[in-house]
């Protein structure tokens, strides 16, 4: 981002370093949690805070307040990571406001910077809610105060509201930067100016703001009121509009352009395809009549991975290939890069598309054993996972080969 703005660094370099140190400290807590589980299962060694973590990523109460696993170290680690996220968001917003060069108005700024700006808004506004919620969870577990656990007079649905108020915008924290990358890649390899620049820029802000208003669609079966369900359902349909604006504008940019199917562009096209499938399959989950039978099935798993892993992973890989020569001054093998992109795309779809079918047939998630009728879907998904895994290993080797033996580029590495 500073390079795009013509700045030497972010607005607060020391704050940037502090956020990195906080990230390391938070990561150490999660490493401890993982090791506690390994040491207990392998050697029977008990460690402070419990063993491993068996609550699921949501830490739903009352289970998270009664289990003997390492809930307190894990949630405290997440609390520290939240500070790292907030400081980074503050730094990015300050950088964009204060370090833009003279003449770079808001609507002359690179779209990747718009994406990071929208992401930073979410980080600053949503992360404190999660941090406070995790502190309350720690207090309830340690002191047995009644906040979320009904055993002590608490309300577990309240925890769900707090959790999803952060966790749904968190989806956009991860995917908005990928949107920015795709906007940069599409216009470069189409040899055209981006179509509808202002609409793409403002749609990032719209996604960031509307993302705070739809958390309740995760709770259609939690017992909340019918009116609340209807409101959250309507807003969830509405948030599809700014996402669709981006996809249509990317397609319009490619129309009549001189499209070059280089490795970053292949990943960008894969991103558009996967995100479109993920977005469209979100519509049945926004409608209460279809969400109730699909809730907690493999349909949700497939939808989530098409939106998150497919889109975020392909956006990341597109960005890495796009800026690889700029970062390292070396060039990867272009032909191998394209082939591996196709392999990863095929492997991803073989892995997750059968899960849509399994979900519509009633296969629940988080089950280790299941009726034989679902086995074929899991077998196909496993084959696809191996294909995708081999493709990603190939991507790593392509990068390492480029670093060691790749031809030198005219662009010098950052810092030289």
By C-alpha distance, which of 153, 171, 152, 281 is closest to 215? 171
Domains of the chain: 1-260 (1.20.210.10), 263-416 (no CATH)
What does the pLDDT read at residue 353?
Answer: 96
CA distance 189 to 185: 6
Q: Does the pLDDT value for residue 324 go beyond 50?
A: yes
By C-alpha distance, which of 272, 385, 394 is closest to 335? 394
Q: Residues 408-416: what's their mean pLDDT?
A: 53
Interior/surface letters 62-100, b for 16+ CB within 10 angstroms, e for the rest: bbbbebebbbbbbbbbbbbbbbbbbbbbbbbbebbeebb
Share of the chain above pLDDT 90, in %: 75
SS3 388: helix
Average pLDDT value over all residues in the chain: 91
Question: pLDDT (tens digit, 9 = 90+) per residue, 143-183?
Answer: 888 899 898 889 999 999 999 999 999 999 999 999 999 99
Question: pLDDT (tens digit, 9 = 90+) per residue, 13-49?
Answer: 999 999 999 999 999 998 988 888 787 776 666 666 6
CB of 177 closer than 8 Å to CB of 115: yes
CA distance 228 to 222: 11
- Count CB-CB contacts under 10 A for residue 169: 28
SS3 145: coil
CA distance 37 to 60: 20
Alpha-carbon torsion (190, 204, 303, 388), positive or negative: positive
Q: Residues 76-96: what's their mean pLDDT?
A: 95
- Per-residue pLDDT band at 413 (split at 50, 70, 90): very low
- Per-residue pLDDT band at 269 (split at 50, 70, 90): very high
Question: pLDDT (tens digit, 9 = 90+) per residue, 214-251?
Answer: 999 999 999 888 999 999 999 999 988 999 999 999 99
Interior/surface letters 345-361, b for 16+ CB within 10 angstroms, e for the rest: bebbbbbbbbbbbbbbe
In the chain the first and final C-alpha atoms are separated, in Å, by 18
SS3 68: coil
CB of 395 closer than 8 Å to CB of 344: yes
Alpha helices, DSSP H, located in 12-103: 13-43, 63-66, 71-98
| Least confident piece of the model among 66-75, 185-194, 259-268 | 66-75
398, HSE (Cβ side, Cα atoms, 13 Å)? 22
């Amino acid at each position: 981002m500073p390079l795009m703005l013509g700045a030497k660094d972010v607005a607060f370099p020391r704050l940037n370093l502090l956020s990195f140190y906080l990230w390391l400290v938070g990561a150490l807590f999660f490493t401890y949690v993982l090791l506690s589980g390994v040491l207990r299962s392998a050697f029977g060694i008990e460690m402070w805070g419990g063993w491993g973590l068996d609550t699921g990523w949501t830490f739903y109460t009352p289970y998270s307040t009664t289990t003997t696993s390492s809930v307190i170290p894990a949630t405290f680690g997440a609390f520290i990571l939240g500070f790292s996220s907030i400081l980074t968001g503050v730094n990015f917003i300050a950088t964009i406001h204060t370090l833009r060069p003279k003449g770079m108005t808001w609507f002359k700024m690179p779209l990747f910077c718009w994406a990071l700006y929208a992401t930073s808004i979410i980080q600053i506004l949503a992360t404190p809610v999660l941090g406070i919620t995790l502190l309350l969870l720690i207090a309830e577990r340690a002191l047995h105060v009644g906040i979320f656990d009904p055993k002590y007079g608490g309300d577990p649905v309240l925890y769900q509201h707090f959790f999803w108020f952060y966790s749904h915008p968190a989806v956009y924290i991860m995917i908005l930067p990928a949107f920015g990358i795709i906007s940069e890649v599409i216009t470069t390899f189409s040899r055209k100016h981006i179509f509808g620049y202002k609409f793409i820029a403002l749609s990032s802000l719209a996604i960031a703001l509307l993302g705070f208003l739809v958390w309740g669609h995760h709770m259609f079966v939690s017992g909340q009121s019918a009116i609340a369900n209807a409101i959250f359902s309507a807003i969830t349909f509405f948030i599809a509009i700014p996402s669709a604006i981006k996809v249509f504008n990317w397609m319009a940019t490619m129309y009549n352009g001189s499209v070059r199917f280089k490795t970053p562009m292949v990943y960008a096209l894969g991103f558009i395809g996967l995100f479109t499938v993920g977005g469209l399959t979100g519509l049945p989950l926004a409608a209460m009549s279809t969400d109730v039978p699909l809730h907690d099935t493999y349909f949700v798993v497939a939808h989530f991975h098409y939106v998150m892993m497919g889109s975020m992973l392909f956006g990341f890989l597109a960005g890495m290939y796009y800026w690889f020569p700029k970062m390292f001054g070396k060039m990867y093998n272009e032909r191998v890069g394209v082939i591996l992109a196709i392999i990863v795309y095929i492997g991803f779809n073989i892995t997750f598309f059968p899960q849509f079918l399994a979900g519509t047939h009633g296969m629940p998630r988080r089950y280790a054993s299941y009726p034989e009728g679902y086995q074929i879907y899991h077998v196909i998904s496993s084959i696809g996972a191996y294909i995708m895994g081999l493709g990603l290993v190939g991507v790593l080797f392509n990068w390492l080969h480029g670093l060691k033996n790749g031809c030198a580029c005219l662009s010098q590495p950052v810092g030289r």
